[in-house]
Amino acid sequence: MLAGLDPEQASAVTAPAGPLCILAGAGTGKTRAITHRIAHRVRSGEVRAGHVLAVTFTARAAAEMRARLGQLGADGVPARTFHSAALRQVRYFAPRLFAGREMPELLDSKARLVGLAATRAGLKTDRAAARDLAGEIEWAKASLVEPDDYAVAAAKALREPPFDAAKVGQVYAHYERIKRAQGVIDFEDMIRAAIWAIEEHEDVAAQIRSQYRHFVVDEYQDVNPMQQRLLDAWLGDRDDVTVVGDASQTIYSFTGASAAYLVGFKRRHPDARVVRLVRDYRSTPQVVGLANAVISRARGDLAKLRLELVGQRKPGPEPTVRVFADEPEEAAAVAARCADLIAAGTPPREIAVLFRVNAQSEVYQEALAEAGVPYVVHDAERFFDRAEIRQAMIALRVATRTAPGQEAALLDVVVQALEGVGWRPDAAPAGGAMRERWEAVAALVTLAEGMPGRSLEEFTEELSRRAALQHVPTVDGVTLSSLHSAKGLEWDAVFLVGLAEGTLPVIHARTPDAVEEERRLLYVGVTRARHTLWLSYAAARSPGGRARRPCRFLPALDPSRPATPAPKGTVAGRVKRVMAVSCRVCGTGLVNGVDRKLGRCSTCPSDLDEELLSRLVDWRARLAGVQKVPPFVIFTDVTL
């Protein structure tokens, strides 16, 4: 178990029970050390797998952690996000907590109710304003700030609310009231409910505490007051807790996270052991050098906590900065480079394109589609919400009902059922959104292949279990991800795109603290690359658009290096139709949202009806045969 660890990592792995804090920079093996620590304790018989609770911040990071634990012979250790851990606990205790009633339904987007709350508070809001208001409400809830205290707390935290702070407080109060009246709860309420369940119910607390005895929190620099309170509730008066973090990777403080818990851990637990790691095992010295250069210019409180990384790997290629005329040109060049890397043997899943704002994803999806490169839009949390996966699961359930107890060749039964919804094992589209959907369904087939001897019914049950836990299968394709959800992960080749002022730092990062957070985001991005790192920006967003300045954090590199001319993509063969559909519940036009979020309104959680869904699926099936995959397909004349 200690093989493949350096002495500091080994000391963390073998440290006795009790509070432990690992403070270290990116790629130094923090996650490796804690997974080994868990496995070491489980395999030596010191603790039982089911008594451990490992928590991290994204579903993908949790999945990664489970995979690493499995490889170390410690499967069965729950590794979850704070949210999914809370959800499971609240769901389990729901009959006791909600007087025999079911758990209230979970809102998956605040936008609509916040819009309604704003109207009640006398504010006129468009989508962007509603989103900003929702952000303020999220911050307040994560910071344990009640509506009446919002204005004072926001001023203290130097927030820049989109409206007068007193008004925002009113919107927040209305929002809470509307939610209660409609009997729904939001993301933060779920964690609050778990806290309340433990703090107010002795029997629940006793049961949870006897179940979970050893806690491990990865990425602890990004814990918010609400999550810390949940952790405290889990712990009670015990202290067998390991936390790991890097203050230079604090990237969620705008939502209420605070590195203060990491920094103050020793103060809270005076007998805590503290382990520091500095050797970077992930990246080439060139990438490490760039990461150090980016973060060495940091200002503010967290800058003092910066840890210089020392690269351990063999040298690799120099990171490059490229400049392009506009975003489509930048995206085309990135896609072409991805295709080259894949042709030279890099598997698509070892490549990532990372951007600051999700809106940037679209142009890369188009470019990758044009170049015939498979990709996955990284939103692991949503795998089981994808329309094609929901369709596939319905088809599997129907097949289970019509052919119960099917045992022979699960491999075949699943494929047969999926063929019923237009999926063909041998008809992988060349790239783009179609390929992404095909790959997602293919991931289910691969999963079935890994479970020989099970019946279709058992397989379907297993899928439902995974859907509830968000245990996401791996899909092979170039990852398209925001910088935020890339944390903790690594790829052989990383493209950091859109490094222009206004995008990074993002336009609304106005305070010095906000700008520092953007710098840390770039640091997180740079440190995701093992080998190849390509940074780029476009001088203008659209062809002929207004000129932008390069990202201010790039002086460490020479941005005047001439760019390779971008290959011009062809628009021939695109299939494009126009659709006007509006959601029957909230009235939002689905014009652009429907292709990617097929089957679901992009604003409120309403489903499209079954009949429409099957027509759309039919369409997709027909398009699967089209060689040149359309970058986007918009449907016409559909009425809900």
Chain positions contacting Mg ion, by CB under 5 A: 30-31, 488
CB 520 within 8 A of CB 291: no
Residue 129: Cβ within 10 Å count: 16
Give the β-pairing of 20-24 and 184-185.
unpaired
Contact window for ligand ATP (CB under 6 A) among 5-13, 326-334, 412-420, 442-450: 5-13
CA atoms 629, 630, 632, 634: torsion sign: negative
Question: What's the CA gap between 583 and 595, in Å, rounded?
Answer: 14
Contact status: 37 vs ligand ATP (CB under 6 A): no
AA identity, residue 225? P
Tokens of 416: 């047969």
Least separation in angstroms between residue 636's CB and ligand ATP is 46
Q: CB-wise, 31 or 391, nearer to ligand ATP?
A: 31
Contact status: 194 vs ligand ATP (CB under 6 A): no
Least separation in angstroms between residue 493's CB and ligand ATP is 15
Q: Is 535 helix (H, G, I), strand (E, B) or coil?
A: strand
Least separation in angstroms between residue 176's CB and ligand ATP is 35
Least separation in angstroms between residue 239's CB and ligand ATP is 23
Contact status: 313 vs ligand ATP (CB under 6 A): no
Contacts of 128 (CB under 8 A, 6+ apart): none
What character string, x for contact with ligand ATP (CB under 6 A) and - otherwise, covers 495-534? --------------------------------x-------
Which H/E stretch holds residue 132? Answer: helix 127-142
CB 360 within 8 A of CB 369: no
Please identify which residue in 176, 240, 246, 457 interacts with ligand ATP, judged by CB under 6 A.
246
Contact status: 6 vs ligand ATP (CB under 6 A): yes
Contact status: 31 vs ligand ATP (CB under 6 A): yes
Contact status: 221 vs ligand ATP (CB under 6 A): no
Q: CB-wise, 287 or 396, nearer to ligand ATP?
A: 287
Contact status: 47 vs ligand ATP (CB under 6 A): no
AA identity, residue 164? D
Q: CB-wise, 29 or 311, nearer to ligand ATP?
A: 29
Please identify which residue in 19, 21, 23, 30 interacts with ligand ATP, judged by CB under 6 A.
30
Location of structure tokens 């319905």 = 394
Helix extents (H) in 298-431: 327-343, 361-370, 387-402, 410-419
- Picked from Mg ion, ligand ATP, none, the partner binding residue 4 (CB below 5 to 8 A depending on kind) is ligand ATP
Least separation in angstroms between residue 216's CB and ligand ATP is 12
Q: CB-wise, 5 or 197, nearer to ligand ATP?
A: 5
CA-to-CA separations, 92 to 49, 96, 166, 194, 231, in angstroms, rounded: 20, 9, 38, 11, 18
* Dihedral pair phi/psi, residue 208, rounded to 5°: -65, -40
Question: Is residue 588 part of an annotated ligand binding site?
Answer: no
Contact window for ligand ATP (CB under 6 A) among 11-19, 27-35, 410-418, 561-569: 27-35
Question: Is residue 24 part of an annotated ligand binding site?
Answer: yes
DSSP 582: B
Question: What's the CA gap between 415 and 392, in Å, rounded?
Answer: 10
Contacts of 165 (CB under 8 A, 6+ apart): 150, 151, 154, 155, 159
Contact status: 4 vs ligand ATP (CB under 6 A): yes
Tokens of 564: 């390779």
Least separation in angstroms between residue 35's CB and Mg ion is 9
CB 428 within 8 A of CB 435: yes
Q: Find, among 576, 581, 586, 572, the residue nearest to 612 by Cα.
A: 581
Question: What's the CA gap between 304 and 53, in Å, rounded?
Answer: 31
Please identify which residue in 112, 282, 386, 519 interacts with ligand ATP, judged by CB under 6 A.
282
Contact window for ligand ATP (CB under 6 A) among 29-37, 255-263, 551-559, 593-601: 29-37
Q: Which residue is nearest to ligand ATP (CB)?
A: 29
Contact status: 26 vs ligand ATP (CB under 6 A): yes
Question: Is residue 28 part of an annotated ligand binding site?
Answer: yes
Question: What's the CA gap between 126 and 618, in Å, rounded?
Answer: 35
Contact window for ligand ATP (CB under 6 A) among 2-10, 82-90, 142-150, 256-264: 2-10
Q: CB-wise, 57 or 364, nearer to Mg ion?
A: 57
Q: CB-wise, 111 or 263, nearer to Mg ion?
A: 263
Contact status: 28 vs ligand ATP (CB under 6 A): yes
Least separation in angstroms between residue 79's CB and Mg ion is 12
Q: Find, among 39, 111, 113, the residue nearest to 77 by Cα.
A: 39
DSSP 594: H
Question: What's the CA gap between 200 and 564, in Å, rounded?
Answer: 63
Q: CB-wise, 487 or 596, nearer to ligand ATP?
A: 487
Question: Is residue 30 part of an annotated ligand binding site?
Answer: yes
Least separation in angstroms between residue 375's CB and Mg ion is 24
Contacts of 118 (CB under 8 A, 6+ apart): 124, 125, 129, 130, 133, 171, 174
Question: Is residue 183 part of an annotated ligand binding site?
Answer: no
Contacts of 136 (CB under 8 A, 6+ apart): 150, 154, 159, 161, 162, 168, 172
Contact status: 242 vs ligand ATP (CB under 6 A): no
Q: CB-wise, 12 or 410, nearer to ligand ATP?
A: 12
Question: What's the CA gap between 338 and 567, in Å, rounded?
Answer: 13
Least separation in angstroms between residue 195's CB and ligand ATP is 27
Q: CB-wise, 130 or 277, nearer to ligand ATP?
A: 277
Residues in the annotated binding site = 24-31
Q: Rule CB under 6 A: which residues touch ligand ATP?
A: 4-6, 9, 24, 26-32, 246, 249, 281-282, 488, 490, 527
